[in-house]
């Protein structure tokens, strides 16, 4: 049995989850995940590493399904709740999942697809009750979860994580950030990415803590939850802190003070998934009395570097390696750089993913000799703390904490009948970190709002360009390759 589920049996009576006004104990979670595992197994003894995709609202149902898949010996594939159908079917086809579990409201999106493709569809609350099955032994070496990440290829890749990977990531954070059963965290993050799944949901449940779900991010509702005085840990991406600060500034002085007092009582506030601007760190300090703990991670490795819980939390820095994680900085020839010199971050440890699904070449390319994972992020080591300098690829954009491939958006844009050529880049932006921007070559007039609507049917909303520019031609080098650093200034004109 996966260790997180074994641990739950140690605190059956404790409240695990608050969701939509209801409270659930660890015992409830064990019961619901057992039922779901039994339904998934039907007459099988073990799902034997079958992929089970699920599109379930954040909350008790989500965790029951995730644990149920694990308990039945399956691989959990969480789907993004806001993706358009082509992005969902890409994941379903790539993982070859033949079972999908959904919240009822997603039947209108996936029901027909499941029927047409002979996939088994389990709608939560409507599943056929089966006799409780004997659940299989699931060792830590088995695959647990596949998360999709955009990268330097035009199509997202499935990152295969084993139970051992997840357990290593969770135990490192539990130790470094002092998690305990007395903690209470609120989740506002999407649950198809590592930040929400591991750092928030799994760490809290591993430790017997309490987890409140807010289904959709809203600054006002989040402040209401903070003011209830029960939550004492919070984690989010920089854009969310930016939005909370902007909202707080508009509030009456009395409510501002109440929020300040409530936040001052927190044990811990963490920020990551994208660079935390120093201005956001300072504003949040004034509002909450907390110095945000910034850390650095990635889907393939979980968290690698973190500012300390006790000790200096340095602005603009991501701290030191977490327990059990080896980190080195290397130059282009693969040699380690001297302190103070920039190099690519490479990571090794039991936290590092097993492979990219069905992509042996991409997996091989991702590792340097000696089994070091190449992150593609550049950093420098200064006085014992790592500082992120940027990325080796211009084709990766981080917006609102989401990793976005410029190549993927370009490929879709090129399918539009009026677009002859295009280049997608990230423009620096205080709120979003980077804004997706597209320079397009077209000999016809383009209606950019119609283009946005056209794109929204094909790619997730957060990948749709926020700025467009029509150009005569794109700057290209002698080899014909677009010179992206020269595209950016075109938007300033
Ligand atoms: C949404 N909008 C954007 C945008 N995303 N505008 C510009 N750039 C973007 N990236 C617009 C929408 O179109 C909409 O406008 C308006 O903002 C509100 O949209 P929304 O979807 O309701 O946004 P909101 O709920 O406010 O979402 C913002 C957010 C969300 C910050 C809560 O982006 C989010 O949850 N980000 C977290 C992603 C995450 O978990 N990353 C971790 C990856 S793991 P309109 O005009 O259409 O109304 C990882 C490893 C690690 O990175 O280290 O953790
Ligand atoms: P993802 O692939 O979505 O998991 O995103 C991982 C990427 O997010 C990393 O490769 C970094 O580029 C970026 N990232 C995560 N945390 C930080 C941070 N604290 N500062 C800067 N970049 C970060």
Does the Cβ of 28 fall within 6 Å of ligand 2? no
pLDDT of residue 375: 98
Task: Point out the ligand 2 atom lying closest to the alpha carbon of residue 403.
Answer: 3
Query: Does the pLDDT value for residue 152 go beyond 90?
Result: no
| CA 84 – ligand 1 centroid, Å | 15
Ligand nearest to the CA of 161: 2
In a domain, 427, yes or no: yes
What are the tens digits of pLDDT across the range 408-427? 999 999 999 999 999 999 99
Q: Is 293 in the pocket of ligand 2 (CB under 6 A)?
A: no
Strand partners of residue 434: 428
Q: Is the CB of 374 under 6 A from ligand 2?
A: no
Nearest ligand 2 atom to alpha carbon 299: 4
Angle subtended at Cα 465 by Cα 298 and Cα 473, rounded to the nearest 5 degrees:
115
Contact 52, 74 (CB under 8 A): yes
Query: For the segment 427-451, what is each residue's pLDDT rounded down to a tens digit?
Result: 999 999 999 999 999 988 999 999 9
To test ligand 2's pocket by mutation, which of 301, 314, 398, 402 has the most ligand atoms within 8 angstroms of CB? Answer: 398
Asked whether residue 257 is domain-assigned, the answer is no
Closest CA to 268 of 295, 301, 247: 295
- pLDDT score recorded for residue 129: 74
State yes or no: pLDDT of 376 exceeds 90: yes
pLDDT tens-digit series, residues 11-55: 999 999 999 999 999 999 999 999 999 999 998 999 999 999 999
The pLDDT value given to residue 430: 95
- CATH number where 102 lies: 3.40.50.980
3-state secondary structure of 266: coil
> Is residue 240 a contact partner of residue 280, using CB atoms and an 8 Å limit?
no
The pLDDT assigned to 345 comes to 98
In a domain, 407, yes or no: yes
Which residue, of 138, 168, 185, is where some domain finishes? 138
Using the mean position of ligand 2's atoms as its centre, give its distance from the Cα of residue 366 in Å: 16
Q: What whole-number distance in Å separates Cα of residue 267 and Cα of residue 254?
A: 23
Alpha carbon nearest to ligand 1 atom 27, residue: 217
Does residue 306 belong to any structural domain of this protein?
A: no
Cβ pair 397, 434 in contact under 8 A: yes
SS3 of 199-264: HHHHHHHHCCCEEEECCCCCHHHHHHHHHCCCCCEEEECHHHHHHHHHHHHCCCHHHHHHHHHHHH
Q: Which ligand is nearest to the CA of 387?
A: 2
CB 32 within 8 A of CB 60: yes
Distance of CA 137 to the CA centre of its chain: 28
In Å, how far are 121, 183, 235, 262, 313 from 266, measured between CA atoms?
Answer: 42, 10, 12, 7, 16
Range of the domain at 473: 394-492
Q: Which of 138, 157, 190 is the last residue of a domain?
A: 138
pLDDT band for position 130 (cuts 50, 70, 90): confident
Mean pLDDT of 77-88: 96
Judged by its nearest atom, the ligand closest to the C-alpha of residue 272 is 2
Residue 25 parent element (H or E): strand 22-25
Question: Cβ(297) to ligand 2 under 6 A?
Answer: yes
In a domain, residue 445? The reply is yes
Q: Work out the percent of the chain whose per-residue pLDDT is above 70.
A: 100
**pLDDT tens readout for residues 449-491:** 999 999 999 999 999 999 999 999 999 999 989 999 999 999 9
Pull the structure tokens for residue 450: 């119609």
Ligand 2: residue whose CA is nearest its atom 9: 298
Give the distance (Å) from ligand 1 centre to CA of residue 322: 27
* 238 located within any domain: no
pLDDT band at 114 (very low <50, low <70, confident <90, very high): very high
Which residue minimizes the CA distance to atom 12 of ligand 2? 377
The count of domains in the chain is 2
Residue-wise pLDDT for 48-66, tens only, equals 999 999 999 999 999 999 9
* β-sheet bridge partners, residue 98: none
CB distance 377 to ligand 2 below 6 Å: yes
Distance of alpha carbon 129 from its chain centroid, rounded? 33
**pLDDT score, position 154:** 75
Q: What is the mean pLDDT of residues 252-259?
A: 98
CATH number, domain containing residue 402: 3.30.300.30
Distance CA 378, CA 400 (A): 20
Looking from the CA of residue 272, the nearest atom of ligand 2 is 19
273 lines ligand 2 (CB under 6 A): yes
Residue nearest to atom 23 of ligand 2 (CA): 274
Mean pLDDT of the chain: 96
Q: Are 345 and 375 in contact (CB under 8 A)?
A: yes
Q: pLDDT class for 261, splitting at 50, 70, 90? A: very high
Residue 3 reports pLDDT greater than 90: yes
Which residues pair with residue 457 across a beta bridge? none
How far does the centroid of ligand 2 lie from the alpha carbon of residue 113, in Å? 33
Residue 92 placed within a domain: yes
What's the whole-model pTM score?
Answer: 0.97
Distance CA 231, CA 229 (A): 6
Tell whether the model's pLDDT for residue 309 goes beyond 90.
yes
Residue 336 lies in a domain: no
**Closest residue by CA, ligand 2 atom 10:** 298
What pLDDT shows up at residue 458? 94
Taking each helix axis from N to C end, the angle separating 60-71 and 26-41, rounded to the nearest 10 degrees, works out to 50
Cβ of residue 57 lying under 6 Å from some atom of ligand 2? no
* Share above pLDDT 90 across residues of the chain, in percent, rounded to a whole number: 95
Q: Which of 138, 169, 192 is the last residue of a domain?
A: 138
Q: Give residues (CB < 6 A) around ligand 1.
A: 189-190, 193-196, 217, 237, 239-240, 272-273, 297-299, 399-402, 432, 435, 461-462, 466
């Amino acid at each position: 049995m996966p260790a997180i589920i074994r641990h739950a049996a140690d605190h059956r009576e404790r409240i695990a989850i608050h969701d939509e006004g209801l409270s659930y104990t660890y015992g409830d979670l064990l019961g619901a995940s057992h039922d779901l595992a039994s339904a998934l197994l039907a007459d099988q003894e073990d799902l034997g590493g079958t992929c089970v995709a699920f599109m379930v609202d954040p909350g008790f149902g989500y965790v029951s399904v995730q644990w149920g898949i694990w308990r039945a010996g399956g691989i959990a594939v969480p789907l993004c709740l806001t993706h358009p159908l082509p992005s969902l079917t890409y994941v379903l086809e790539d993982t070859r999942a033949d079972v999908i579990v959904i919240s009822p409201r997603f039947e209108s999106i996936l029901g027909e697809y499941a029927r047409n493709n002979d996939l088994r569809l389990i709608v939560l609350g409507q599943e056929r009750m089966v006799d409780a099955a004997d659940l299989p032994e699931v060792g830590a070496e088995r695959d647990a979860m596949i998360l999709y990440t955009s990268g330097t290829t035009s199509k997202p890749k499935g990152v295969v994580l084993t139970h051992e990977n997840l357990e290593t990531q969770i135990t490192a954070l539990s130790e470094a950030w002092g998690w305990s059963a007395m903690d209470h965290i609120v989740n506002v993050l999407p649950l198809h990415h590592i930040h929400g799944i591991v750092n928030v949901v799994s760490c809290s449940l591993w430790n017997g803590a309490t987890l409140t779900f807010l289904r959709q991010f809203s600054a006002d509702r989040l402040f209401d939850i903070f003011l209830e005085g029960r939550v004492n840990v919070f984690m989010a991406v920089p854009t969310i802190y930016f939005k909370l600060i902007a909202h707080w500034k508009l509030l009456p002085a009395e409510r501002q003070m109440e929020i300040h007092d409530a936040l001052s009582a927190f044990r811990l506030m963490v920020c990551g998934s994208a660079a935390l601007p120093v201005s956001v760190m300072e504003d949040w300090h004034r509002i909450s009395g907390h110095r945000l703990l910034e850390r650095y991670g990635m889907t393939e490795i979980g968290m690698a570097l973190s500012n300390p819980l006790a000790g200096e939390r340095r602005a603009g820095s991501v701290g030191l390696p977490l327990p059990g994680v080896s980190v080195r900085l290397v130059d282009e020839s693969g040699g380690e750089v001297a302190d103070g010199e920039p190099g690519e971050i490479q990571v090794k440890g039991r936290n590092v993913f097993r492979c990219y699904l069905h992509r042996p070449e991409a997996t091989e390319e991702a590792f340097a000799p000696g089994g070091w994972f190449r992150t593609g992020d550049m950093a420098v080591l200064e006085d014992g703390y790592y500082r992120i300098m940027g990325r080796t690829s211009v084709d990766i954009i981080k917006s609102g904490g989401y990793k976005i491939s410029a190549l993927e958006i370009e490929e879709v844009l090129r399918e539009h009948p009026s677009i002859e050529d295009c280049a997608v880049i990230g423009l620096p932006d205080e709120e979003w970190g980077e804004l997706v921007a597209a320079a397009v070559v077209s000999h016809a007039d383009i209606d950019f709002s119609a283009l946005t609507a056209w794109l929204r049917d094909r790619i997730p909303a957060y990948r749709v360009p926020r700025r467009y520019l029509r150009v005569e031609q794109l700057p290209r080098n002698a080899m014909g390759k677009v010179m992206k650093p020269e595209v950016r200034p075109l938007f300033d004109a």
